[in-house]
Amino acid sequence: MKKVVLYAVTASIVFCNYACNKEDVPKDVKPFEPIKLTVKQAEKADADNRFALNMFREVSALSNKPNMFFSPLSLNMALGMLYNGASGETRTEMAEVLGMADFTDTEINEHYQKMSQTLLNIDPLTEIGIANSIWYRQGFYVKQPFIDVNRKYFDAEVRSLDFIRPDAADTINKWCADKTNDRIPEIIEKLSDDIMLCLINALYFKGKWQFPFNKAPTQQEEFTKANNQRIKANMMTQTATLSYYTDQYLSAVEMPYENQAFSMVAILPADNMDIDYLVNYLDDTVWKNIVDKLKKRSVWLKLPRFKIESEIKLNDPVKNVGMQRIFIGGFANISDTLLFVSGIKQKTFVGVNEEGTEAAAVTVILVTGSAGTDTELPVQFFANRPFLYLIKEKSTGAILFIGRMDEPKE
């Protein structure tokens, strides 16, 4: 797992058009310097967010649990590796759904490579880990160009493993645990006889708030669930100058981490709207409008303390956004054997408290073969009812995680 050890590269703002307020950053912290993207890379970043929000709607619609946490970046990385093995109509369909149709193979892979490398380095005080691996059944022939391209651009660990061994799944699970600081200790229960490859992305994030909450005021308050049931939740509170936006449909507040490279944006539906409406309303155009129009305000903020672990089966959501052929075949660039995706699964973890946020995700793709100002009055943002929250990188707009909070738990 790569750790943050370098300073951020010199760059210009691409996705967010408001500048980093460097005077807010302590003198001993290197100020945020945005990632520089080419025009094509900025277009791909927009496409990634469009795919992220489309997938979030599908995942949310199929979820039967009150809380859900999803990593579009982790899924996108895993699908990016798979794309290098796709061929024919399957490859064309993947390119359309992932917003790759107007890009060359090199441009696509360089985009993933740049995102992986620059996200690691943009905030030396925030711990970020991105790791990729490809595991293939011992004795199964995998074409060398597929291995080479994923090693070069995704820094993927490629390993042959005897899937018949009883501890084969344990070996893969240990890799996932190591890459997520033990937050995702298991992603695979067992490896069936027809599984030929496992493509895995592991993502880890740990950041401290730029403006931490004081623990003393945290107390139990009412939180109204989507079904109007009232429960008790530990509500953190503070008044701070934060970026804020509101309109007739929603209100949003941005809470930066460390040097402001990363932040969490919490979004509340308007009083006359519910959380399901907000999930369907939030597309990439609405999201970009929110980010573009965030303005500094004095905000009286209340946010529940919570911890969530989720497991999401992504076959149906991926099909519903238009990527169906991967479950039929079309991977001649991996092997001459007929291959198809039999399962896509993601496990996530998120913990939010007074100090900051810890989040992790592991996505596995199973491939089967047939063989404002301080003087103004503060606005109120009380997250005491269901809300959405996203963790993003500022300059690229990359959405690392997106979640729905309906029932705060610890």
Please report how many Cα atoms fall inside a 13 Å half-sphere around the Cα of residue 282, on the Cβ side.
35
So where are the chain's domains? 37-208+307-369, 219-305+373-405
d(CA 28, CA 31): 9
Q: Summarize the confidence of residues 178-202 as an average pLDDT.
A: 96
Residue 79 confidence class, pLDDT cut points 50, 70, 90: very high
pLDDT per residue over 241-299, tens digit each? Answer: 999 999 999 999 999 998 889 999 999 999 989 999 999 999 999 999 999 999 999 99
Is 233's pLDDT higher than 90?
A: yes
Lowest-confidence segment of 71-85, 268-282, 367-381 by average pLDDT: 367-381
Is 214's pLDDT higher than 60?
A: yes
d(CA 381, CA 302): 6
Domains 37-208+307-369 and 219-305+373-405 share a fold: no
The pLDDT of residue 371 is 53
Dihedral angle computed from the Cα positions of residues 257, 261, 264 and 267, in that order, rounded to the nearest 10 degrees = 140
CATH number for region 219-305+373-405 = 2.30.39.10
The pLDDT of residue 30 is 66
Q: Name the architecture of domain 37-208+307-369.
A: 2-Layer Sandwich (3.30)
Query: What's the whole-number average pLDDT of the chain?
Result: 89
The pLDDT of residue 29 is 64
